Structure 1
Amino acid sequence: MRIDSAEVIVTSPGRNYVTLKLTTDTGVTGLGDATLNGRELAVVSYLRDHVCPQLIGKDASRITDIWEYLYKGAYWRRGPVTMTAIAGVDCALWDILGKATGRPVHELLGGAVRDGVLVYGHANGQTIDDVLADVGRYLEAGYRAIRVQASVPGLDSTYGIHHDGTGHTYEPADARYPTENVWDSAAYLRFAPELMAAVRAEHGYDFHLLHDVHHRLTPREAARLGKSLEPFDMFWIEDATPAEDQTAFELIRAHTVTPLAVGEVFNSIWDCRHLISNRLVDYIRCSVSHTGGITHLRKIFDLAALYGVRTGSHGAGDLSPVSFAAALQLDLAVPNFGIQEYMGHLSPAEEVFKTAYRFEDGYMKPGDRPGLGVEIDEEAAARYAYEPKSLPVNRLRDGTIHDW
C-alpha cells in the first residue's frame, strides 16, 4: 500500500483551511489538517514544493518511519510551519491505516479508555450580563465545562468575544492586514475576578469554569490573577504568560493553587519538557495539527502522564474538522486525558467536511467510522476560495507592541 498521490486542498468555508489528501495505489484515501491560522500559504508551499514530492511511492503503513524522515530529513527542525506540515501527513497516514483495516484510529492506538470526550464550550459577551446569559445557554445545551471571556471595560476590543453574531467565538482574522488593538493589563486584572464572581453567583459551582489569559501577563501579574481567582474554583487559567520562558511558571506556581494550562503555541515535546517534568502546569494544551500529528502528540501526552499532567488539547475553530476528529481519536485513547476544547465551525464548513462525531450530554462521541471519521467534498471545497486574512496585533496604551 504505497502513496500514489498527495494533494493540498485550500478552502475557506467560513475560515481558511488547508487539507492534505493522500491516496494509495489501492485507492484508500486519508485526510490531514495542515492549517496554520494567518500563515496558511506558508504551509501550503512547504507541502506542495517540498513534502508531497517526497511522499510518492512510500509505504503508507510506515507511519513512524515517514514521520522521522520528514522531521530529521529536513535538517531544519521544529517550528510551526514544519510541524503543521508534518502533522497533515501524519494524520492522513493514520486515517489511511484505519480505513485499510476497517477500524477507527483510537482502536489502533490501544483502544478506548473512556466512553466519551469531555469538551468545553466558549461563553462570552460584551458585558457581564451578556456573559451570564451565554453561560446559561451552554448549561441548557448540556455542557459540563465552559470557558468564560468578556470585554474589559474601557477597552475597545478584547480577545475571545462573539464573532459577527454567530454565537461562536473566533479570533477576528478578518482583515488582509492586521488590525491593532489596545491592551491594559491593570484594567483586566481588576475586572477578571468580578467576572468570575458574577458567573458563580448566578450559575453556581456545578460545572467546570475555565478562562483564557492569552499570554498577556507577566509572571507576577499571572500569579496575582491566579490568587484572585482561587475562590471561584477554576478548572484552569490558560496561557497566563508568554510560553517561550518555561521557567516563568515557577513563580506563578509558587503563589497560587489555581490550575494552570498552556501549550497551544507549542510545536514539539521540547517546548514543554521542562514544564511537564517539573510539574509547573496541570494541563498541556498542544494541538494535533501544530505538534506533528498524532504520532508526536502521543509522545507529549505519554510524558505528561509520567508527571500527573493531564491533556487539554487546543481545539479552536481555526483548526478544521479533520483536526478535531483526530484530536478526539487520541483523547479517547490516552489515560491522562483531561478535557478537549470545542468551538464548533462556522457555516458553511459542514458543506465541505462530513463528520461522524457528535455532542451528547457534555461529551463528544467520535463515532465508529474507520480512520478519523471525516470526509471532504472537494466540489464544495472548490466553491470557497482562499481569503487572505490576518490576526490582530496588540499594543499597550503607550503604543508598545504587546502579546496578542
Structure 2
Amino acid sequence: MKISDVQTLAMSTPWRDLTFVKVTTDEGLVGWGECRLPNRTADLLAYLNSAKRRHILGSDPFRIEDIVTRMFRDDFVRAGVVASCGIGTVEMACWDIIGKACGQPVYRLLGGQVRDRIKAYANGWYTVERSPEEFHAAARKVVERGYRGLKLDPFGAGWYELETAERRLAVGIVEAVRDAVGPDVEIMIEMHGRFNPKQAIMIAAELE
C-alpha cells in the first residue's frame, strides 16, 4: 500500500482556522488528520504542499516513523512549529488508514481501552470582552451546558512579563470564573509558554 494523494483543506471559524489533511492510498483507503495553528494557516498549507512532494507521496502509511523522520530531519532547516504541526497531522491520517486497513479502532492499536468514560472540558468559550464580568457570564453558560471542566487564557496578548495592572486583571478574571462555576468545576489556565520562569511562578502563586 502506498500513499497516492494528499489534499489540504482549510476552514475558517469565528475563533480559529482549522486545517484538515486527506491522505489517500493506491488501494482506495482514506485517512484524515487535523490541526490548528493560529495565525499560521497559510504557512502550514504551504509546508504540507512541499512535504507532499518531498516526503509523503509513494510512502507506506504503515511506516509512520519513516515518514515522520524524513519530514522532521530531511529538510534544509530544522523542523519548527509549522513542520511539527504538519507532521502530526499526516501521522494522524496514517493512523486512520492503518485502523481502517486492520478493521480496528485506532485506540486498540495504540494499547487498548483504559476506561469507559472520558471527561470533556470546554475551550474556546471565552470569545468575549476581556473583563471579569464578561468571563463570569460566559463561564456560567458553560456549566449550564453540563461541562464540569473549562479552560481559559485570561492573559490576553501578554508575553514574557505582565505589568502589575495586567496581572491583576488576569487574576481577577480567574476569580470571576471560579465564582461563576463554583468550587467543584475544574478550571484549567493556559499560558501558552509565553512567560519567563519568574513571571510564571509569580502568576501561579497569585492564582493560588
TM-score for the superposition, normalised by structure 2: 0.79
Query: Does the CA contact (< 8 Å) of 1:185 and 1:216 recur in 2?
Result: no
Letter in 1 for 2:71: L
- Which residue pairs with 2:88 in the alignment? 87
Could you list the runs of 5+ residues in structure 2 that have no partner in the other structure? none
- Alignment partners' CA distance in 2, 1:38 and 1:220: 28
- The 8 Å contact of residues 6 and 52 in structure 1, kept in 2 or not, is answered as no
Specify the alignment match of 2:163 in structure 1: 185
Question: In structure 1, what is the equivalent of residue 5 of structure 2?
Answer: 5
Percent identity reads 32
Q: 2:80 aligned with 1:76, yes or no? A: no
Contact 1:16/1:40 (<8 A) preserved: yes
Partner Cα distance (2:189, 2:120) in 1: 14
**Matched-pair contact (CA < 8 Å) for 1:131–1:148:** no
What code does the residue aligned with 1:223 have? I
Contact in 2 for aligned 1:193/1:228 (Cα 8 Å): yes
- Shift in Å, 1:65: 2.1
Q: 1:90 to 1:215 in 2, by over 3 A?
A: closer
CA-CA distance at 1:22 after TM superposition: 1.5
- Aligned-residue RMSD, C-alpha: 2.9
In 2: Cα distance, 1:50 partner to 1:68 partner: 12
In 2: Cα distance, 1:18 partner to 1:28 partner:
20
1:207 counterpart (185, 188, 194): 185
Q: Which amino acid is the alignment partner of residue 201 of structure 2?
A: A
Per-residue deviation, 1:223: 2.2
Matches within 5 A, 1:245-284: none
- CA deviation map 1:235-285 (0-9, x unaligned): xxxxxxxxxxxxxxxxxxxxxxxxxxxxxxxxxxxxxxxxxxxxxxxxxxx
Code of the residue aligned with 2:187 in structure 1: it is L
Rounded Cα–Cα distance in structure 2 between residues aligned with 1:22 and 1:70: 15
Q: Which secondary structure state, in structure 2, belongs to the residue aligned with residue 59 of structure 1?
A: coil
Q: Whole-Å Cα distance in 2 between the matches of residues 201 and 20 of structure 1?
A: 41
Q: Report SS of the residue matched to 1:94.
A: helix
Q: Distance in 2 between matches of 1:52 and 1:117?
A: 38
The structural deviation recorded for 1:93 is: 0.8
Pair 1:60–1:189, CA change in 2 (3 A): closer
1:312-354: per-residue Cα shift (whole Å, max 9, x none)? xxxxxxxxxxxxxxxxxxxxxxxxxxxxxxxxxxxxxxxxxxx
Assess if the C-alpha contact under 8 Å between 1:18 and 1:33 holds in 2: yes
Q: Is the 8 A contact 1:22 1:30 kept in 2?
A: yes
How many residue pairs match? The answer is 202
Residue 225 (structure 1) aligned with residue 200 (structure 2): no
Q: Residues of 2 paired with 1:144 and 1:41: CA distance?
A: 35
Confirm or deny: 8 A CA contact 2:153 2:191 kept in the other structure. Answer: no
SS in 2 for 1:47: helix
Task: Give, in whole Å, the separation in 1 of the partners of 2:20 and 2:152.
Answer: 30
- Residue 316 of structure 1 corresponds to none
Q: 1:131 to 1:48 in 2, by over 3 A?
A: closer
Tell me, in whole angstroms, the C-alpha distance in 2 between the residues paired with 1:192 and 1:85. 32
Change (3 A) 1:206 1:60: same
- Structure 1: which 4+ aligned runs deviate by more than 6 Å? none
- Checking the alignment, whether the CA contact within 8 Å between 2:33 and 2:89 is kept in structure 1 is yes
SS of equivalent to 1:20: strand
Query: 1:143/1:25 Cα in 2 relative to 1: closer, same or farther (>3 Å)?
Result: same
What is the rounded CA distance, in whole Å, between the counterparts of 1:29 and 1:117 in structure 2?
27
Map residues 139-178 of structure 1 onto 2, 5 A cutoff. 139-148=143-152, 158-159=156-157
SS in 2 for 1:19: strand
8 Å CA contact 1:10–1:16 kept in 2: the answer is yes
Q: C-alpha distance in 2, partners of 1:90/1:27? A: 18
SS at match of 1:120: coil
What is the alpha-carbon distance in structure 2 between the residues aligned to residue 149 and residue 75 of structure 1?
35
1:19-73 deviation digits (Å, cap 9, x = unpaired): 3222111110111225533222223222223433543332222222222232233
Q: CA deviation at 1:217?
A: 4.2
Aligned to 1:293: none
- Partner of residue 48, structure 2: 47
C-alpha contact 1:60 1:96 (8 A) present in aligned 2:
yes
Please report the TM-score for the alignment, with normalisation by the length of structure 1: 0.44
